[in-house]
Amino acid sequence: MDDIAEGVIQAINLIITLNPDVMQIAALSLYISLSATIIAALIAIPVGSLIHFHEFRGKRALIILIQTLYSVPTVVVGLVIYLLISRSGPLGFFGLLWSPAGMILGQTVLIVPIMMGLIISALSGIDRGISDTLVALGATTSQKVLEIVKEARYAILSAVVLGFGRAIAEVGVAMMIGGNIRDQTRVLTTAITLETGMGNFGISIALGIILLAVALIVVVILNLITSGFSDDSRHIAGGPRG
């Protein structure tokens, strides 16, 4: 009990004093996971739409494969990326190992499947009648796709938020690709692992709280962006009828 109580007090201290080490780690975490989320969304939204709006052989099999990759362990992604970008690997000449860029790559690979899979189900969730209506109203194919993506915005947002959540919370890729190098590749999760191992529970708890706080801020901002998209922020939480 003492450890926990002390930890919480220390956490509050670190946060209130804006401890530079802790802030630096939090900022790097945010930078890496947000970058991975943006890149993954830029891949998953168009490719997911492409898969949803086209009929082709093996579509169902592809979707099952994507869904299977939801459960890929972070350490397996870490291992594969490690083998690709290590000095002797095929992408070794980029020198990405032990760098934030490598970690962004790894987290992107990790979260693209779950984002894409959920975006495909988000688009499938839009009533077929909407698609027919848009075509009947004279939409070209690209106008139709754009409107359907907009119509699915909340479900797509959920997919993106979930992807971000998986990225900022994962340890495997950050550890194997980043290496937890102080001031360079140390992020919240790897720092928690390290500090806990060294018995510094206070810092660990503080970092845990900061991780959740960062997640909260990102989720709130993403929600604001999505609702502002169609000027219906008043209704996002099920506002009054009309």
Composition of the chain by helix, strand, coil, percent to 5:
75, 0, 25
> Shortest distance, CB of residue 116 to another protein, whole angstroms?
23
> Cβ of residue 120: shortest distance to another protein, in angstroms?
19
Count Cβ neighbours within 10 Å for each residue of 88-114 and write b for 16 or more, e otherwise: ebeeeeeebbbbbebbbbbbbbbbbbb
Interaction of residue 127 with another protein, rule CB under 8 A: yes
The rounded distance, in Å, linking the Cα atoms of 80 and 89 is 10
Window of 74-82, 138-146, 166-174, 207-215 that interacts with another protein by CB under 8 A: 138-146
Binding flag, residue 132, another protein (CB under 8 A): yes
Supply the minimum distance, in Å, between the C-beta of residue 55 and another protein: 14
Helix 2-16 with 201-228: angle, nearest 10 deg: 50
Of 139 and 194, CB closest to another protein = 139
- CB atoms closer than 10 angstroms to residue 79: 15
Please say which residue, 36 or 149, places its beta carbon nearer to another protein: 149
Q: Which is nearer to another protein, 21 or 127 (CB)?
A: 127
- In the complex, the residues that contact another protein under the rule CB under 8 A are 127, 129-130, 132-141, 143, 147, 151, 230, 232, 235, 241-242
